[in-house]
Chain A
Amino acid sequence: MPEPVETPTPPQWAAGGVGQSPIRPDAESKVNGSFDYASDLAFEGMLWGHTLRSPHPKARIRSIDTAAARALPGVVAVLTAADVPGKLHYGLIEADQPVLAPGEVNYQGEAVAIVAAETLDLARRAAELVAVDYEVLEPLCDASKAVEAGEFFRYQPVRVGDPDTAEAAVVVAREYEVGMQDQAPLGPESGVAVPADGGLVLHVATQWLHSDLEQIAPCLGLEPERIHMAMAGIGGAFGAREDLSVQIHMAMLALRTGRPVKMMYDRAESFLGHVHRHPARMRYEHGADAEGRLVYVKAHIVLDGGAYASTSEAVVGNAASLAVGPYKVEHVGVDAWGARTNNPPCGAMRGFGGVQTCFAYESQMDALADALGLDPLEIRRRNSLAQGDQLITGQVVEAFDPAKAEDGRPFSPLRDLLGRFDDIPVPAVPAGRDIVELPGGTGNTTHGEGVRRGVGYGVGLKNICYSEGFDDYSTARVRLELVDGEPVAYVHTAAAEVGQGHWNLQQQIARTELGVERVVLLPNDTKVGSAGSSSASRQSYMTGGAVKAACEAVRELWADRDLADGPVEATRVFRHRATKPMDPVTGQGESHVQLALCVHRATVDVDVELGLVKVVDLTCVQDVGKILNPVALEGQIHGGSAQGLGLAVMEEIVTDEGRVKNASFTDYLIPTILDMPPMRLRIVENADPDAPYGLRGAGEPPTLSSTPAIVAAIRDATGLPLTRVPVRPEHLTVGRPS
């Protein structure tokens, strides 16, 4: 008879609990290469699927002849739009994207036909044999023209006060452009569909199993109960796995052939087969008084959503509501559009609508500081929102630490962060540097010739969790039982581990709440309720909150029971506080759950003659509410900052009349270890009383602020205005490309 185990009185310190950095459960396998990513899956008797994609950004399909493809020995099925068993369209918010192009294609890379064959090579050959007769049409690739023509997914204005008559002592007006960034997850889109008693098991690497299921089932004409979604190992996501990719296609092929079907994109197809970050053109006008206090801001923001809706609607909401950043301004006129064009579809990427405007408003703050001869930190301090102030949407800034007050003034979380730079010196220029420490690196382009140093700051404001009235929730089931006389917690959720360390966090929460050592994570699938998406920096908050709630419930049950009599189990659904939609005319509304701030200081060395940049230091001050796992948090800040660095100086999907010119890692460059400097972090904990443990979502904010900080530093080094990212060497030397 085992000793009765004592119920702990939480939250208490527990080994490997919240606030510590236990080794993550997926660490060993990911390091030694034994982790099963979706692309590693294999089943007996498995076929390979492949997608035929449109080479044209816009065309009518006159006919599709699949006879030659079907005649190829080893080819088992060739399917087109006519074979879609259920609904013809799917989509995350609006179902407007065809499963397979029905009679026209609207972007280069749109899926036209799918093939299943005995080998991947055969499937690819068969796809080449599908004869599609296209009537090529002229694509619409200019987002501004699309907006003028009424082709947009959403228009969201914000109006406060009277921006058109407000008078300002200083005015800066500029146009900004942000190129199309890609999430570039290293793991390509992949999955396997396995037929099972009239239904299917779908093994897929996705950010949100239940949302996938909601979109997949109607297109297959199957009841959702007939489809079991099982999470496959995810090799990075960053938003790229919010939209469907292989899911419906491999399911259709499995249903048709009665055999397991695997699909796996190669790198080029991956670049064509997922959405990108919206490129943007933004016209900003900031007016300030003689002390640099903002009087008005006007912004005209055009985001290019590409051919299909994806999440453009929500991205536009973020761009509009966060359009001026964490600054106080009385008169505001913002107009934001998400255009529909024949460019590649754009949707979710880390930062989600906050990144583009952040580059613009931070560049504007610097331009104002310049015009007034103010220090960049000082102008930001003077305009910082404080507790009780309103965002441009009317949302009151709260839920920062109300206990803190500064000499009579309401507490300003931004002023708090800005102040932390006072005792972090800008790094000195070391003597006798190796070429790898200089711009151009081993390219040996400079030994110091032409090198100038610059320093710049960037501030980012990001909404955490889904906004605008979305009824978001997460579900967790926790069971506690005795195994060999020891209590073991089993945690079951559908939350995607995209690399952020969420599995680890679930274990940490269970240890802290239940005081147990062993926590077993059950596979993520649809046998438990939805966890929502691993996006919007929300999973610690939402699924963390759900696991915490379920553990609390288990603890209560456990208090009245001896575990020796049997396990205790509880399932809990966690919701954040309700939000409201934005008013369609004024943009007003408490639309966001939580706000997060991050500030970067970048130090760069620029070879001003060659236009090559080396970021030598990134210092980051971020408010995370509460540190749940120091190592994972630092990783998130490093990674987010690196992605922002990528956008600042190299990452761009280049299109020409709707055609992607660089769908490869040879020409879509992401930062290497020689591009990303070691970082200095100051992590601040201004707890949010509404959030589990006081946490504030942390994955996205650094992606916003590092880009404008780096560009500001390059401006400081070169004296050039630099209104476009990524900044390319030619922008710093011979001018803009044609």
Chain B
Amino acid sequence: MSSVAAPARFGFHRPAAVDEAVRLLAEHPEAVPVAGGTDLMVAVNYRHTRPEAMLDLTGLAELREWTDEGDSVRIGSGVPYARITAELATVLPGLAAAARTVGSPQIRNRGTLGGNLATASPAGDGHPPLLATGATVEAVSVDGTRTIPIGEFYLGPKRSALKPGELITAVTVPKATGPQQFLKVGTRNAMVIAVCSFALALDLDTRRLGTGIGSAGPVPLTAPDAERLDLPWTDPARFDDALAAEFGRRVAAAARPIDDVRGTAAYRRHALAVCAARALRRVWTAAHERTGR
């Protein structure tokens, strides 16, 4: 019976600095970090988890800042979506567009990128633009700081490379070097978990495409085959529907969707193909206009 007896006392820690936070986490391995609480508290209410203690991250001012690092932006893990949309739309248009689609205004005021990453739901809206831009995740523990490339972060549904005792302190996202798009399909016009989503970043310096697929596989995915599509860089006007459709097909082929209550696998593949084709057409057109050709 002891396993279900009421916990002696619910522990609540509210550190004021990151080093104190990781020390507390090492001392109290049972403590669950909480940022916006928009994932965690739902899980608690649904009794999917019953934390014995919580480590409140909202007192850590360092996590609530973003800094311009020249070629990239380092976003504190505690910066809420509302600020990403409002403050970073010019430098990180893909991520800002994704942030705009998360939940409702209340959720965007509280929910954080750090929480989205730590939850590592394949449906999380933060993931595709981070994959498309090649972001890196910064994790800190009492053993020090390490940097995890985003491509190595997602291990399985709701499983990530984050280790016990580690906190996500920041995500570093390269600044856009060309147009970016994020498209999210849901059965409602707002406040909806993605049926599938797609992020695209066009890098005009290297002439490369970056992709990210959400909600269509056990983890957020990229579409390497689609990224290798030959684009008519020297004669942009040669871009046509057939090329966009081919890109869509390759993205759909990279997905590993399932049937569930939100949508069928067949629909997800179809919708990804449509979204990817539209995204490519949009970034191509924007790049073309921008470079004045």
Contacts and interface: CB of A to CB of B under 8 A. Distances in A.
Contacts of B261: 654, 661-662, 667
Interface in A712-735: 728-730, 733-735
A557 interface: no
A71 B101 CA distance: 48
B189 A672 contact: yes
Interface string B254-279: 00000101111011001100110010
Interface in A126-144: 128-129
B188 interface: yes
A730 B264 CA distance: 7
A124 B185 CA distance: 37
A72 B4 contact: yes
Given A443-B101, A730-B264, A609 B274 contact: yes
Nearest to B181: A444
B172 to A, nearest CB: 24
B1 A443 contact: no
Contact of A734 (B188, B191, B267): B267
Interface in B228-286: 259, 261-264, 266-267, 270-271, 274-275, 278, 282
A447 B282 contact: yes
- Among A267, A444, A446, A672, find the residue whose CB has the most chain B CB atoms closer than 10 A: A444
B188 A737 contact: no
A119 B10 CA distance: 15
A125 B278 contact: no
Interface in A335-372: none
Interface in A482-525: none
B120 interface: no
B100 interface: yes
Contacts of B207: none
B183 interface: yes
A87 B185 CA distance: 51
Contact of B185 (A71, A266, A443, A675): A443
A672 B192 CA distance: 10
Interface of B: 1, 4-6, 42, 45-47, 97, 100-101, 104, 181-193, 195, 197, 259, 261-264, 266-267, 270-271, 274-275, 278, 282
Interface in A207-233: none
Contacts of A610: 185, 271, 274-275
A426 interface: no
A268 interface: yes
Given A734-B266, A734-B267, 10 more contacts: A72-B1, A119-B6, A440-B185, A444-B100, A444-B184, A649-B187, A674-B189, A729-B187, A733-B270, A738-B259
Q: Which 8 A-B pairs have the closest CB atoms?
A: A441-B189, A730-B267, A443-B184, A674-B190, A674-B189, A661-B261, A734-B266, A609-B274
A434 to B, nearest CB: 12
Contacts of A728: 187, 263
B54 to A, nearest CB: 15
B275 A666 contact: no
Contacts of B192: 443, 669
A442 interface: yes
Contacts of B267: 611, 729-730, 733-734, 737
Q: Is the interface of A mostly helix, strand, loop or mixed?
A: loop
Contacts of B104: 672
A442 B187 contact: no
B193 to A, nearest CB: 6
A404 B47 CA distance: 62
Contacts of B4: 72, 125, 128-129
A73 interface: yes
B46 A442 contact: no
A577 B290 CA distance: 74
Contact of A650 (B45, B97, B187): B187
A124 to B, nearest CB: 7
Interface residues of A, number: 54
Nearest to B275: A445
Given A654-B261, A661-B261, A662-B261, A439 B189 contact: yes
7 contacts: A441-B190, A443-B192, A664-B46, A666-B42, A729-B195, A730-B264, A734-B270
Nearest to A730: B267
Nearest to A615: B189
Nearest to A443: B184
A74 interface: yes
Contacts of A738: 259, 264
A609 B5 CA distance: 54
A443 B101 CA distance: 6
A344 to B, nearest CB: 15
B277 to A, nearest CB: 9
A102 interface: no
A671 B192 CA distance: 11
Contacts of B187: 612, 649-650, 669, 728-729
Nearest to A121: B6
B233 to A, nearest CB: 24
Contacts of B42: 666
A241 interface: no
B45 A266 contact: yes
B262 A667 contact: yes
Contacts of A122: 6
Given A68-B1, A73-B5, A441-B190, A734 B185 contact: no
Nearest to B85: A442
A462 interface: no
A181 to B, nearest CB: 15
Contacts of A609: 274
Nearest to B282: A447
A710 B219 CA distance: 36
Contacts of A673: 190
B271 A444 contact: no
Contact of A266 (B6, B46, B97, B101): B46
